[in-house]
Structure 1
Amino acid sequence: MSRSPSSITKLLSRWQENEPGAFEDLIDQVYAELRAIAHNVMSLEKNKPFQTTGLVHEIYADLGTKSGIDWQDRNHFFKIASIAMRRALIHEARRGKALKRDADLVSADETLLFSGCGTAEDWLLFDSLLRELELQDTCMAKIVQLKVFCGYTNQETADSLGISIATVKRRWSFAKAWIYKRSLEPDS
């Protein structure tokens, strides 16, 4: 059952005010949507370091430690959740890479980064490139974050960032090309 954005915003407010049980009520309301987002992200992962439920639980654990966040609304919550998801995947990729001594970093291309063939090494490279992109253009990095990790449409991304769909399309195309080009460079 889909919950209205206002009911989620109310739960976020209750949680922010440290009302007992508010976080658990919030998770009950957003669990199905978090699972759908996690399923979308895990469909991109070749080696599957998490099951969908496991990734949601990682998010749940990470979000449960967040205090002092001025929760604005449903979109803000899901942006933070997508960051927690990214952090969990990157942490797991680093852990896996540390276990594989002398593993070569796979050169990523757009197919690997955006079509679902990613390995742990690809996620590490992707995270590094996304951080680099963020230094150059924060808005463009946010577009990539929302589209790749939340599975947002152009319309949802535009609404979330308060920009036009045309801007989302243009910057998304540029970001994909930029990430692809940088992933092929030897120093990436």
Structure 2
Amino acid sequence: MGDVTVLLDAARQGETLAVGRLFELLHPELKRIAHAKLRYRDDRLLLDTGALVNEAYLRLLGTERLLARDRGHFLAYAAQVMRSIVVDTVRQQQAARRGGGPQGFVTLDTGAINQAAGQQGEDEILAVHEALQELAAIDERLVRVVEMRYFVGLSNQEIADSLGVTTRTVERDWEKARSFLYNHLKGG
């Protein structure tokens, strides 16, 4: 844990080597987060957990200074970057399918069913992303709690420490966020 703190301090000072070392140290946790981000994916997404972690690493290297305060905050930030990558990939693929050029022949087989199922997965990814954006407009902390708990897998205590609130506040925030997301995704 001490190594993570030292590396975060170095990353905040703009040392790009520190970001690389953070990714090495936290690689198993980052892969778990990436796996959670891709759990509803279809094979057309062209991303796997390794590719998603690598792309997140490249995007984080592009930042001048990493502002994460602690391990939980860094993992939550990495989860946010991964979510952005998945959403960008889905949007690009949907745009490519809608854009010009011949679409080829349509066959009547299970491939068409699989493609429709894949589009539903893409639509769900975008719906969750849009719901989290709406929630962020209401209360940014609720989104952070969702990211840290659901996508990163931090405990309520770890989330509370990272956000500087009590565990009871985290529990209430989690319930509010779940209720909002449930209603938003069910069309309520």
TM-score (norm 1): 0.76
* 1:1-44 per-position Cα deviation (integer Å, ceiling 9, x unaligned): xxx1x21121122234344733332322222221122123323x
Q: Aligned equivalents of 1:125 and 1:26: distance in 2?
A: 31
Are 2:18 and 1:22 aligned? Answer: yes
Q: Counterparts of 1:1-188 in structure 2 under 5 Å?
A: 4=1, 6-19=2-15, 21-43=17-39, 45-47=40-42, 49=45, 50-101=47-98, 119-185=121-187
Relative to the length of structure 2, the TM-score reads 0.76
Deviation at 1:134, TM superposition (A): 0.9
Q: Distance in 2 between matches of 1:157 and 1:70?
A: 17
Higher helix share: 2
Structure 2 letter corresponding to 1:13: D
Task: Give the whole-Å Cα distance in 2 for the aligned partners of 1:20 and 1:133.
Answer: 32
What 5-or-longer segments of structure 2 have no aligned partner?
Answer: 100-119
Tell me by how many angstroms 1:85 deviates: 0.8
Of 34-43 and 11-20, deviating more is 11-20
Q: CA deviation at 1:175?
A: 1.6
What value does the CA root-mean-square deviation take over the aligned residues? 2.4
Q: 1:163 to 1:97 in 2, by over 3 A?
A: same
* Cα separation, partners in 2 of 1:170 and 1:12, compared to 1, 3 Å: closer
Asked if structure 1 preserves the Cα contact closer than 8 Å seen for 2:149 and 2:159, the reply is yes
Q: Deviations over 1:51-85 (max 9, x none)?
A: 11111111111111111333422222212211111
- Distance (Å, rounded) in 1 between the aligned partners of 2:54 and 2:8: 18
Percent identity between matched residues is 30
Aligned partner of 1:109 in structure 2 is: none
- Measure, in 2, the Cα distance between the counterparts of 1:151 and 1:82: 10
The AA in structure 2 aligned to 1:92 is T
Aligned residues: 166
